[in-house]
Structure 1
Amino acid sequence: MKVSIDQDLCYGSGDCVYRVPSVFTVVDGFGAVLPGREDAGADALVREAAEKCPSQAIRIEG
C-alpha cells in the first residue's frame, strides 16, 4: 500500500514525523514521505498517523 502526503492540505504540524519518524519527515516546513518508504502504507503506525493527521493530508492507496 502506497502512502503519500497531499501538499495542498498539509500545514506542517509535524504530527506524522512525531508518530512515525522512520517513514515521515519535514521538507520546507511540510510533511513528506521519506524516499524509499512510499510502500509503508500497510504499517499500523502509518495508518494511525493518517487517521490522526490534523489536516487529513496523509493518503494511503492500494
Structure 2
Amino acid sequence: MRVSVDPEMCYASGECALRVPSVFTAVDGLGAVIPGREETAADEPQVRDMAERCPSQAIRIQ
C-alpha cells in the first residue's frame, strides 16, 4: 500500500503535518508525504485516520 497527497485537491490546512508529523510535511505550502514514507506509512492507523479527516480529502491510500 502507498500513501500520497493530491496537490490538486490540497488546500494547505496543515492538519496532516500537525497531526502526523512523522509522515506528512509541507512542500511549497501544500501537504506532502515525507520522502521514503510513502509505502511504510500506509498501514499506520493514524495515517488512515488522517486520510478520513483531511478537510480537502487530498490524502490517498492505495
Query: What range is the shorter-chain TM-score in?
Result: over 0.9
Q: Output the CA distance in 1 between the equivalents of 2:25 and 2:18.
A: 9
SS of match in other structure, 1:17:
helix
2:35 & 2:49 partners in 1: Cα distance? 20
**1:1-62, aligned counterparts within 5 Å?**
1-39=1-39, 40-61=41-62
Name the Cα RMSD after superposition.
Answer: 0.5
**Aligned mates of 1:48, 1:17 — CA distance in 2:** 13
What TM-score do you get using the length of structure 2 for normalisation?
0.96
Q: Structure 2, unaligned stretches of length 5 or more?
A: none
State the Cα distance separating 1:36 from its structure 2 match. Answer: 0.3
SS in 1 for 2:48: helix
Q: What is the aligned residue count? A: 61
Moved over 4 A (4+): none
**TM-score under structure 1 length normalisation:** 0.96
